[in-house]
Structure 1
């Protein structure tokens, strides 16, 4: 290998490690052209094709967009994301770029419009690098897709990436793109963020636009983002919402005066020992930094209340929500055709819980009870932490285990027990149940070298405060937080 090839390889590696804000600054300052940056990421993506992180990339189109960004920079454009490539989960409509929703029947469907969140980042100068792989119709947590392949974890190819925003998390973790848009209904951003070791932010439900994104549940669906730092999530949140960064948390005196809560009976009940050990080490570190961390008890039936209500809403709304989306956006498919084309395991699950005639379908009466009785009760319980105890956020391990083996699809092993893969969302589902903002940040690796995530959930509408709090925590823990 000659010196020129070595230097080129090193430059590709260097640019792939850039976070979103750093990449935007490098392009804006002329340290690198958007075209060179994009070409380097395309080369890296080809080299790591085995991850199955993308379904569609139009290389010629994205390079043309990068050249246009370089011309715009020459005319002093101040767009905050100018020339920076983004991944986009393939549940988002993208004008002129195929949108499959993860299914065979829409493999060649090309929308004539952008989802509103895509429109926002493009308006800020970002390039759509490609469409990320996902679980069919965003219905799953493992990252498996029968048509487009299992998304593999960049930390270990035999481990799952998490889902349903599987390719989005993997592409950011692998340095293929600095950020990617994802979606979260019960944990589809936070679970893969935890498994892949990146930051995954789920805003307050409804705060980010959902128009043009294939839905599951109009009550629970939330759009959001993956990035390599909280700072980068703040930048995307600012672009999408138009809200300005409110600045650092507090007066710069660590976490002094900040109160946080955790509920060990609810969120440490079924957790791998390594994950619990790391979580408790994080709590001690935050206390050392000045935070007051209080234990709360959300009630013996809290987990069952959350699970029953949330999964009931999730399944009951799926058929009508998808049908309305297809009609509104003139997508050439019907719910019945989509159902018929699902992989056998997923079709069987829909037959059980999604179809109104299914033996596990939620009745109208139980659905209304979940909306009007259970959700207010869940919120009341959470308010014991936020209001009664004055906590800015509730802490918990994002997932009860590190990324399971790809072979563990229907059941996974957690704390020595074989349980349903749905248990991977045991901790993320509580924020989803009532629409709270939640964020997962990596807090180190297990002995096997697999990422462990910390989740923070905050009161409705307190997204900017949550982001600033998490940015402060990220700074305190640092990238080299000691191993277990």
Structure 2
């Protein structure tokens, strides 16, 4: 039977479903099977992007270029190509270099900068047949958690326009949540994938640090930076992970068979200390659900000083490495600016923050001695504490609410309200910073909405290098909530 006959016997997706709701795997299969064309799929996504332009999810979309690429993908498919992402448009955070497409890093001064090369992760998805749909909005230099950009606008939450999207990979999360793209590449240093994933109600996957290529992506910290992906289903994150890492496909277990034999850990003294009551209630309800389908959930205590240890060490490394990491990136990739020029032109709040913690001699800057202590004393101690769950208790993952609250109001850019307290917006990363501190893989999975209709996320952190096990586990957890 030829492809034309086979396609004619299948339901026409373009007639029976909204194309924009397709995930990565579903879209790739539909294009590969001839149910839809990449051109029609891409055109539908472009129309949705135009309709939802008020979200400010993208800085750059070259409509004619992406449609031309879609037509080329359709020709390749007709010629027998079957690459895993053939013809599927993906978003890319505008911190990734993209050959022939402007890369601003969120800065006005680089609005016209067009790189001559792709970041390694972008090259990987292109080699697999994916199209770069556009460049997602982000916080300047990926330095922030709310999604505010002075030049390109606040990225708004698709669930509530008056709420933040989270950051720094703000546009990536919002565009996936709004069905503008089925997935988008992002970056995560202390929570910049998982925080916006939680706030926007999508899946956000941070691999083990160093597992995904970082070459060609504007850095903050070589110790903490991780590239990763947003999607609406875990299976789509797993597919993109497979493509970017070059690993062979893994047979995932059936998400519907429950979690019998799986051991999970919770650390309520550490991760429920400063959490909105509704988020805590939903988290505890989800833990009960997991127990009901066979998971064994053990409680661990990581120590009275665990949160303070994590915060001091991780933020210290984060700030200490910023100046050197950015300067090296600009030189290596011939980016037409300097660290000094970037610092000078930053929005006032960020300029002040860099003066305080990033510049040598700043009042809050980490000393060289403090930096070495964080690397060589604090991080091994943090890992030892986490091994209480992974090694001593045999847990495959530690669970916690991804964020301590739902998406704050856009007006709350510097301070937010959590559990009745007014605290720094940095508290939005109080839970995600744990995995970042020692490079663990982490994933945020949506577990429903608050009474006000705002998403709540569940984070699963797993031992170093156990990314595919984590993705399988997250898929099964997702199956408990969303079969």
| TM-score range relative to shorter protein | over 0.9
Aligned equivalents of 1:274, 1:11: Cα separation in 2: 40
Aligned equivalents of 1:393, 1:415: Cα separation in 2: 26
Task: Say if 1:12 and 1:40, in contact at 8 Å, map to a contact too.
Answer: no
**2:135 maps to 1:131:** yes
Give the SS at the match of 2:96.
Answer: coil
The offset of 1:252, in angstroms, is 7.6
Alignment of 1:62-461 (within 5 A): 62-249=66-253, 253-461=257-465
Pair 1:98–1:289, CA change in 2 (3 A): same
Task: Say if 1:203 and 1:436, in contact at 8 Å, map to a contact too.
Answer: yes
The offset of 1:254, in angstroms, is 2.0
Aligned equivalents of 1:134, 1:201: Cα separation in 2: 17
| Structure 1: stretches of 5+ with no match in the other structure | 1-9, 480-484
The offset of 1:477, in angstroms, is 1.7
Pair 1:251–1:171, CA change in 2 (3 A): closer
Pair 1:63–1:12, CA change in 2 (3 A): farther
Aligned equivalents of 1:12, 1:154: Cα separation in 2: 25
1:330-362 Cα deviation digits (max 9, x unpaired) = 110000000001000000000000000211000
Aligned equivalents of 1:18, 1:347: Cα separation in 2: 41
Task: Say if 1:12 and 1:44, in contact at 8 Å, map to a contact too.
Answer: no
1:350-395 Cα deviation digits (max 9, x unpaired) = 0000000211000000000000000000000000000000000000
RMSD: 1.4
Aligned equivalents of 1:168, 1:42: Cα separation in 2: 15
The offset of 1:205, in angstroms, is 0.1
Give the SS at the match of 2:166.
Answer: coil
Task: Say if 1:238 and 1:245, in contact at 8 Å, map to a contact too.
Answer: yes
Give the SS at the match of 1:169.
Answer: helix
1:419-460 Cα deviation digits (max 9, x unpaired) = 000000000000000000000000000000000000000000
TM-score, with length taken from structure 1: 0.96
The offset of 1:247, in angstroms, is 1.8
The offset of 1:188, in angstroms, is 0.0
| Structure 2: stretches of 5+ with no match in the other structure | 1-13
Aligned equivalents of 1:252, 1:32: Cα separation in 2: 29
Task: Say if 2:255 and 2:476, in contact at 8 Å, map to a contact too.
Answer: no
The offset of 1:13, in angstroms, is 7.3
The offset of 1:253, in angstroms, is 4.6
- In structure 2, the residue matched to 1:478 is 482
Aligned equivalents of 1:290, 1:193: Cα separation in 2: 27
Aligned equivalents of 2:16, 2:48: Cα separation in 1: 7
Aligned equivalents of 1:281, 1:222: Cα separation in 2: 31
Aligned equivalents of 1:55, 1:291: Cα separation in 2: 43
TM-score, with length taken from structure 2: 0.96
The offset of 1:245, in angstroms, is 3.2
Give the SS at the match of 2:18.
Answer: helix
Give the SS at the match of 1:163.
Answer: coil
- What is the aligned counterpart of 1:26 among 22, 30, 33? 30
